[in-house]
């Protein structure tokens, strides 16, 4: 496995691979890797001749600067994991390498960029689009792999690919969960062991709500999930939206769509950590 910090060096290596007609897979990350990331890399290794993994903590997607400052960074452990799962190249650029000048581009794809996380974290998806478009231009992969935990982000990236008029295929990979059911996330590292157990109640409620939805209206189901999670001291729902899985628009009735997804954000712990998850009801 080779580690690159400069765009020119990575592109030189990829140019040689393309001359051999290699298929190139790409997994963009911000580091602090876990088994969920490993599953994405393993999928890419299986599908492609060459797999590139980026480790870049992108400042433009953090609307809360303290969140950026506290984001875990574990570069040596990340590289060890990536070598173990068969990654070929790690791209770990500096901020100046990715943004030699301030990125003033604005990406706006309503409603996918303006609802839920887009509404709660102003500027977040613009930053995501800035860095992903930059990385796509640098790597020029055939396939790019994203985890379904960041479900809304996948919808945004798909719109970005259309906007770029790109042939990159976005591959969605299933959520990897801890034994408790908690969706794996780099943010979980900031939870104490007791808080991790507490956070497991998020998916427990979501999973139970699928059965509840058979007899409750959509609105009643939404209210039940919020009440069930908020009943646990130390958990507070920021929002729970039940939306059309394609447009991400809020629904009023189960009959309004054939593809229905519930998306939730919950604050957990005494120093609240923001956790996201989702559940599919139909489709």
**Which residues are documented as binding site?**
30-37, 61, 147-150, 153, 176, 184-187
**Catalytic annotation on 37?**
yes
- Catalytic hit among 37, 124, 232, 278: 37
Task: Please enumerate, by residue number, every residue annotated as part of a binding site for beta-alanine.
Answer: 61
SS (H, E, C) the chain: CEEECCHHHHHHHHHHHHHCCCCEEEEEECCCCCHHHHHHHHHHHHHCCEEEEEECCCHHHCCCHHHHHHCCCCHHHHHHHHHHCCCCEEECCCHHHHCCCCCCCCCCCCCCCCCCHHHHCCCHHHHHHHHHHHHHHHHCCCEEEEEHHHHHHHHHHHHHHHHHCCCCEEEEECCCECCCCCECCHHHHHCCHHHHHHHHHHHHHHHHHHHHCCCCCHHHHHHHHHHHHHCCCCEEEEEEEEEECCCCCECCCHHHCCCEEEEEEEEECCCCEEEEEEEEEEC
Q: Tell me how crowded residue 121 is: count the other CB atoms within 10 A of its CB.
A: 18
Task: Return left, alpha or beta for 243; rule: phi > 0 is left, psi -120 to 50 is alpha, else beta.
Answer: beta
Q: Which residues pair with 89 in a beta bridge?
A: 2, 52
- Give the annotated binding-site residues for ATP: 30-37, 147-150, 176, 184-187
Residue 4 Cα distances to 26, 53, 54, 139, angstroms = 14, 10, 9, 12
Residue 271: CB atoms within 10 Å = 11
Q: Binding-site residues for (R)-pantoate, please?
A: 61, 153
Annotated catalytic residues are 37
């Amino acid at each position: 496995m080779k580690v690159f910090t400069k765009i020119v060096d990575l592109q030189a290596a990829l140019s040689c691979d393309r001359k051999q007609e290699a298929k190139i897979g790409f997994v963009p990350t911000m580091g602090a890797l876990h088994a969920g990331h490993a599953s994405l890399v393993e999928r890419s290794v299986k599908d492609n001749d060459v797999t590139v993994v980026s480790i870049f903590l992108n400042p433009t997607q953090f609307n809360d600067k303290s969140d950026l400052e506290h984001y875990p960074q574990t570069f040596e452990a990340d590289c060890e994991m990536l070598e173990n799962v068969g990654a070929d190249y790690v791209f770990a650029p500096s901020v100046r390498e990715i943004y030699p000048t301030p990125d003033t581009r604005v990406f706006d794809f309503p409603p996918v960029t303006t609802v839920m996380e887009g509404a709660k974290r102003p500027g977040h998806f613009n930053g995501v689009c800035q860095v992903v478009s930059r990385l796509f231009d640098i790597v020029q992969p055939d396939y790019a792999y994203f985890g379904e935990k960041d479900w809304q982000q996948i919808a945004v990236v798909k719109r970005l690919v259309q906007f770029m008029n790109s042939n990159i295929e976005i591959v969605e990979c299933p959520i990897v969960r801890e034994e408790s059911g908690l969706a794996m996330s780099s943010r979980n590292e900031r939870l104490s062991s007791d808080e991790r157990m507490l956070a497991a109640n998020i998916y427990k409620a979501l999973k139970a709500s699928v059965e509840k939805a058979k007899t409750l209206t959509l609105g009643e189901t939404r209210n039940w999930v919020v009440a069930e999670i908020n009943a646990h001291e130390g958990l507070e729902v920021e929002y729970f939206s039940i939306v059309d899985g394609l447009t991400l628009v809020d629904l009023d009735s189960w009959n309004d769509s054939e593809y229905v997804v519930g998306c939730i954000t919950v604050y957990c712990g005494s120093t609240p950590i923001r956790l996201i998850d989702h559940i599919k009801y139909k489709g």
